[in-house]
Amino acid sequence: MTERRRIDIVTARGPSSCPRCRREGLLLVRVPYGWTNAVGTAVDGRIGVVLCAGCDAQAPHPAPLFTWFHVNSNVERETSEEFVRLLVAWAENASVPPLDEGRLDEEISLWRSGSL
């Protein structure tokens, strides 16, 4: 049995910037991810994924969302169902970058030294 991924739509005070190009993202969702750590224990968590008009313009899954934003600038009651359907379709296919262990070690060192 496949468990459905729970996806959170995050509303922040300010718009989130795209981690790839640093420009303003259209929206941010938090999607579940998981990996097995060095001792074989499953580690679960959530990661924020930003929808970016620049970086995601050529990707197939967010394309209907961009069209939706182009036609409807805000989510209204009569368009919310369609918006949620497109959002879920995109978020379910949003790729979560694999764990970069080198970068993790670097960040742990920075955290230990008080630089993070």
Summarize as ranges the residues that interact with Zn ion (CB under 5 A): 18, 20-21, 52, 54-55
Nearer to Zn ion, 52 or 86 (CB): 52
To Zn ion, the closest distance from the beta carbon of 108 in angstroms equals 27
To Zn ion, the closest distance from the beta carbon of 78 in angstroms equals 30
Burial of residue 90, with CB atoms counted within 10 A of its CB: 0-12 exposed, 13-18 middle, 19 or more buried: buried
For residue 30, report the phi and psi dihedrals to the nearest 5 degrees: -110, 120
> Helix crossing, 80-93 with 63-71: angle to 10°?
150
Nearer to Zn ion, 29 or 52 (CB): 52
To Zn ion, the closest distance from the beta carbon of 58 in angstroms equals 12
Question: Radius of gyration (Cα) for the chain, nearest Å?
Answer: 17
To Zn ion, the closest distance from the beta carbon of 46 in angstroms equals 20
- Give the three-state DSSP class for 43: strand
Q: Any idea what the Cα angle at residue 91 is, between residues 116 and 37, rounded to 5°?
A: 50
Nearer to Zn ion, 5 or 20 (CB): 20
